[in-house]
Amino acid sequence: MSDEFEGAKTSRRSFLTGAAAAGAAMGAATSAQAAGDPLITEVQDWAAGLGDGVDASPYGLPIEFEKDVVRRNVEWLTADTISSINFTPIHALDGTITPQGCAFERHHSGAIELRKEDYRLMINGLVDTPLVFTYADLERFPRSQKTFFLECAANTGMEWAGAQLNGAQYTHGMIHNMEYIGVSLRTLLEEAGLGAAGDIRDKWVYVEGADASSNGRSIPLEKALDDCMIAFKANGEALRKEHGYPVRLVVPGWEGNMWVKWLRRIEVMDRPVESREETSKYTDTLENGTSRKWTWVMDAKSIVTSPSPQKPIAHGKGPLVVTGLAWSGRGAITAVDVSLDGGVSWQEARLAEPGKPMALSRFYLDIDWQGEEMFIQSRAMDETGYVQPTKAQLREVRGLNSIYHNNCIQTWHVNANGEANNVEVS
């Protein structure tokens, strides 16, 4: 055997080893296995005896090792827990459905406990027959099932002036995405009869909740008749108390504040009420001091959830799954681009499945990371052709006075150790 042949053989073997290692990394295997990993070669405690019985927890919580996947507060934002907000741990979730157990909550006067038996929903105003529904009544109307995101208009609101909160949970966690079961609002309005309303194009509904804040909002009747839902189940089970048990309003694609919880009354009107929640709150003050109002639709937006400040790269160099979420209140997400160099160049990410209207889309970009510094961004596009703006573009139009409706492109700086931080690029 010639040296050359031997050399070729060696290099072929190392090529195979290299290929196996690359494949192994993809499959999350390591060379420890070859060296006699005790986790493989020895019988472990969990295999040597019995596990827990089936009735150990009749309603289950996540396994203790996942106890960090929880809602969190930003202390200086949350003065008290009554008029409060917390954040979904989007950095630690995957897929698109948000489990109710860790979905963010926002209450203006605390979460109330309302029994189904005590539940009443009134429809009054410009209707032919004012009606009151019990929970049992609602269950007898034809049902629909649809998945939608709910984003608070204040999501990312702290980032207008500069990069502030260090984590996707805090910058983008006022969002959840659930599969709702309920009755269409159109069905109930038609049950009451809209003859008295006349031309629906200039009419409104005023919706309010049973909590002390009531969170009243005016919604154009056209939207109410289009796709709004009276929901009583989310992700297959009853709404949690904090999400409006037993019934909440679902207003697809529109700001979360309009999704009234513990919904108690819907009044058909010939004008909007101009309530607190649609005048002094949830409006956007521009540079010249005037304010935008009726900014109901949540524009297209996206965020890289991993890597991100709370989810650094922990496995070192090699194959890296860059992933995140994208959504649009105007319809389905059609594409998401990812930049690793702060927006200089872009590559198209893979959508886990075709975008659904007004629901979260999951995107993935599989890269080979060799420890280089990255400025990771994502940019969403929706079916209307709208492209998510940069921070600079948004500030140019809206100035710096806004709190709500910040849908700009976010940047995470990733250093050679895989740590990520919230930064701005100009």
Member of 72, 106, 217, 243 binding Co ion (CB under 5 A): 106
Q: Which does 211 bind (CB under 5 to 8 A by kind): Co ion, ligand MTE, none?
A: ligand MTE
3-state secondary structure at position 277: helix
Which residue, chain included where needed, has tokens 């994502």? 378
Residue 91 or 107: which CB sits closer to ligand MTE?
A: 107
DSSP state of 158: G
Specify the stretch interacting with Co ion by CB under 5 A; choose among 106-114, 195-203, 212-220, 371-379: 106-114
Q: Which does 197 bind (CB under 5 to 8 A by kind): Co ion, ligand MTE, none?
A: none
Report the alpha-carbon distance of residue 102 to residue 164 in Å, rounded: 23
Q: How far is the CB of 254 from Co ion (least distance, A)?
A: 11
Q: Which does 78 bind (CB under 5 to 8 A by kind): ligand MTE, Co ion, none?
A: none
Instruction: Catalog residues that contact ligand MTE under the rule CB under 6 A.
Output: 103-108, 150, 152, 176, 209, 211, 213, 215, 242-243, 256-257, 259-262
Q: Among 338, 335, 334, 333, which Cα is nearest to 304's? A: 338
Q: Which does 206 bind (CB under 5 to 8 A by kind): Co ion, ligand MTE, none?
A: none
Which residues have a Cβ under 8 Å from the Cβ of 74 and sit 6 or more positions away? Answer: 87, 158, 165, 170
Report the alpha-carbon distance of residue 21 to residue 148 in Å, rounded: 41
Omega cis (within 30) before 307? yes
Q: Does 257 bind Co ion (CB under 5 A)?
A: yes
Q: DSSP secondary structure string, 363-407?
A: EEEEEEE-S--EEEEEEEEETT--BPPPHHHHHHHHTT---S---
Q: Which does 105 bind (CB under 5 to 8 A by kind): Co ion, ligand MTE, none?
A: ligand MTE
Report the alpha-carbon distance of residue 48 to residue 54 in Å, rounded: 18
Segment 122-181, which members bind Co ion (CB under 5 A)?
A: 152
Q: Does 256 bind Co ion (CB under 5 A)?
A: yes
Read off the tokens for 45: 């405690």
Count of residues near Co ion by CB under 5 A: 4
Report the alpha-carbon distance of residue 340 to residue 228 in Å, rounded: 38
Q: How far is the CB of 396 from ligand MTE (least distance, A)?
A: 27
**Pairing state between β 333-339 and 347-348:** antiparallel
Residue 211 or 278: which CB sits closer to ligand MTE?
A: 211
Count CA atoms within 13 Å of residue 336 on its CB side.
32
Q: Which does 262 bind (CB under 5 to 8 A by kind): ligand MTE, Co ion, none?
A: ligand MTE
Q: Does 303 bind Co ion (CB under 5 A)?
A: no
Q: Does 249 bind Co ion (CB under 5 A)?
A: no
Sites of contact with Co ion (CB under 5 A): 106, 152, 256-257
